[in-house]
Amino acid sequence: QKEVEQNSGPLSVPEGAIASLNCTYSDRGSQSFFWYRQYSGKSPELIMFIYSNGDKEDGRFTAQLNKASQYVSLLIRDSQPSDSATYLCAVNWGNTPLVFGKGTRLSVIA
Amino acid sequence: EAGVAQSPRYKIIEKRQSVAFWCNPISGHATLYWYQQILGQGPKLLIQFQNNGVVDDSQLPKDRFSAERLKGVDSTLKIQPAKLEDSAVYLCASTFKTGFGGYTFGSGTRLTVV
């Protein structure tokens, strides 16, 4: 059974700090990795996706993938109170639908 | 472009009653998903459609849940009869290409079963 694991948090960081969110997955055959942000009472929205080992940067966000360790992370630089949300890690294997983790709740303290 | 439309936004029903949710995906998106999100958990797939055909319904509780996507556009998800544990947010999502995990989600329907 394919599983995606995340620490549920909450993860609290001060404003301006780097927030580091981590995710592990169960199957080495996975190919694509996605990070979604979900504000309380809202639906998930896509932040980033990564396919290859290494880092991918987009503005204040950096996704990191290590397939050998079955580990993907999201770094948020210069964290803002508006970044406070639940961050969902999602993985798909080939053309299968996304499997989501439970999400990590991030709280950025002003 | 218009987003994924869902209705109703909220629904409260008694257990053993039936309920239906509606979804209209982004125009041109052939792949449509229904996910269930219980409070404090990540979304869990119920069913995937490609055009008007079912691709994956392995996690759909078929004794009480049903879904259809006639004409390959709108979709409805039905629960009959509802149980207390069906209380959740039901999310519809679509994507332009099967296998691409960059989904656009609708605003969801929050179902409370009492």
pLDDT digits (tens, 9 = 90+) for B25-56: 999 999 999 999 999 999 999 999 998 899 99
CB-based burial, B77-93: b 16+ in 10 Å, e otherwise: bebeebeeebbbbbbbb
**Interatomic CA distance for residues A51 and A1, integer angstroms:** 21
| Residue B46 parent element (H or E) | strand B44-50
* Closest partner CB to B106 (pick from A43, A90, A99): A43
Give the Cβ contact number of residue A98 at 10 Å: 28
A22-59 pLDDT, tens digit per residue, is 999 998 787 899 999 999 999 999 999 999 999 999 99
pLDDT on residue B89: 98
**A16 phi and psi angles, rounded to 5 deg:** 90, -15
Neighbours of A20 (CB within 10 A): 15
CB contact under 8 A, B41 and A102: yes
pLDDT band at B101 (very low <50, low <70, confident <90, very high): confident
Residues on B contacting A at a C-beta cutoff of 8 Å: 33, 35, 40-45, 48, 56, 91, 98-108
As a whole number, mean pLDDT of residues A5-34 equals 93
pLDDT given at position B1:
66
